[in-house]
Amino acid sequence: MILRLAWRNLWRNRRRTFITIAMIVGAVVLSVTMQSVQNAMYDRNIDNMVRFSKGYIQVAAAGHKEDNTLETSVDLTPELREKILSIKGVRGILPRIQNFGLAALDTMSKDVMILGTVPEVEDEQTGLKKHVIKGEYFKAEDQSVMVAKGLAKRLQLSVGDTIVIVSMGYHGNSANGKFPVKAILELASPELNKRVMYMPEALAQRFFSLGTHVSDISILLDDNKKSLEISKEMQSVLGDKYEAKHWTELLPELKQMVEGDAAGGYIMYGILYVIIAFGVFGTVLMMLSERRREFGVVTAVGMKRRLLAIIVVIENFISGLIGAVAGMILALPGVLYLKYFPVNLAGQMKEAYEKIGFEPLILADIYPWILLENAGLVFLIALGLSIYPVVKILKIRSIDYLRS
């Protein structure tokens, strides 16, 4: 009968209960949507930056991170390859040569990031072939390069043009050459779009006088979410001669930017939760005021105050649970819509996003932990607001409440 009493009490003032549940639903929908968008954008932009540049895990010779030149390149021997592939969770490897240089065409020049890579494996890792907007995707034996759209625009070049590259090779060898442009790429990351050019691995090794060396090895994983633990295991397997770095070590500025932005998001959620807490608290006060005389009557006829408090907590539990579950369900359509139909930003918003190196796209993804965490938190806030009526009820003196 206690549960029945709590359930019926909940619906005795439908408007009040509806307001309470609506506020909880609103809070869950808002916070789930906001966080799903925020996380999807982080994941997308991290993925863009990481996969196209360093990889989730990068293996290089010891000291390469500080030196970051071809002098600390690594000889990719069959033994090293075997060792890396033996680690659980590693799907494959992508040897890369990364160096900086100056690209020129006619009277225009621009600093560039040269990426020497294995075309087929690169496509498998980054889906690079899909980013070709003009020309043809390169092959391992090609003597030509692919240029990112922003760089092509800056140098005013197109497919078929020949680009001159000046750089520094291994052990101080000069690296100068002319290369035909085979394709123009449109990369997701605005930052990479401005300065990247791709070269087949063999061509890059020759151009930089590297022999069989590569500057680093990007590791392909079965599950990128396990990258941190795998990077630690890899470091212990490979020993001191090599460094196995996680992307958060390789791109600390990206990590800090994401963390800084997320902190701003948490402040927003905090404000949202406080507003909701005050709203729900208002309905709790309404309930206490409406039922003051009834509380006096039931304690007068012998109901223990503790039991009365439990009934009120059950009422809050039920309304909180209904609100939290309904909020999770109602948040899904919006999140799913943004997952399958991302919104392309334009104008100043687009520029602002590009300025911080983010793809100008509003998208979302389903993260079960975001649904559960936000619904759980809002539910706990609603339930936590029971403390006030519980304290009031435990202090009831029947006569004071009967006189009201």
Partner 1 sequence: MSVIKTHQLSKIYNGSAVAVHALNKVDLHIEEGEFTAIVGPSGSGKTTLLNIIGGLDNATSGDVEVAGKDITRMSENDLIDFRLHNIGFVFQAYNLIPVLTAQENVEFIMLMQKRDKKERHERAMSLLKAVGLESQADKRPSQMSGGQQQRVAVARALASRPRFVLADEPTANLDSVSTSNLLDIMARLNQEEGTTFVFSTHDQRVIDRARRVITLEDGHIVSDETKA
CB of 337 to partner 1, least distance (A): 41
Q: Count the Cβ atoms, other than its own, within 10 Å of residue 340.
A: 9
CB of 311 to partner 1, least distance (A): 11
Nearer of residues 38 and 299 to partner 1, judged by Cβ:
299
Nearest to 265 by CA among 7, 107, 40, 72: 40
Nearer of residues 117 and 299 to partner 1, judged by Cβ:
299
**CA contacts within 13 A on the Cβ side of 371:** 17
Nearer of residues 307 and 387 to partner 1, judged by Cβ:
307
- In angstroms, the CA 224 to CA 56 distance is 7
Nearer of residues 355 and 403 to partner 1, judged by Cβ:
403
Contact footprint for partner 1 (CB under 8 A):
1-2, 4-5, 8-9, 12, 293-294, 297-305, 307, 396-399, 402
Secondary structure letter of residue 167 according to DSSP: E
Nearer of residues 228 and 300 to partner 1, judged by Cβ:
300
Pairing of strands 216-221, 90-105: antiparallel
CB of 377 to partner 1, least distance (A): 31
CB of 354 to partner 1, least distance (A): 59
Nearest to 357 by CA among 218, 216, 227, 187: 187
CB of 313 to partner 1, least distance (A): 17
Angle between helices 368-384 and 252-290 (to 10 degrees): 40
CB of 25 to partner 1, least distance (A): 24
Nearer of residues 303 and 329 to partner 1, judged by Cβ:
303
Asked whether 195 and 362 are in contact (CB, 8 A), the reply is: no
Phi, psi (5° rounding) for residue 367?
-120, 110
- In angstroms, the CA 132 to CA 148 distance is 9
Burial class (CB in 10 A: 0-12, 13-18, 19+), 330: middle
Nearer of residues 303 and 332 to partner 1, judged by Cβ:
303
Asked whether 292 and 396 are in contact (CB, 8 A), the reply is: no
Nearer of residues 3 and 352 to partner 1, judged by Cβ:
3
CB of 281 to partner 1, least distance (A): 23
Nearer of residues 80 and 402 to partner 1, judged by Cβ:
402
SS3 assignment, position 209: coil
- In angstroms, the CA 125 to CA 115 distance is 14
Asked whether 294 and 402 are in contact (CB, 8 A), the reply is: no
Spatial CB neighbours of 276, under 8 Å, sequence gap ≥ 6: 23, 24, 26, 27, 378, 381
CB of 8 to partner 1, least distance (A): 4
CB of 306 to partner 1, least distance (A): 9
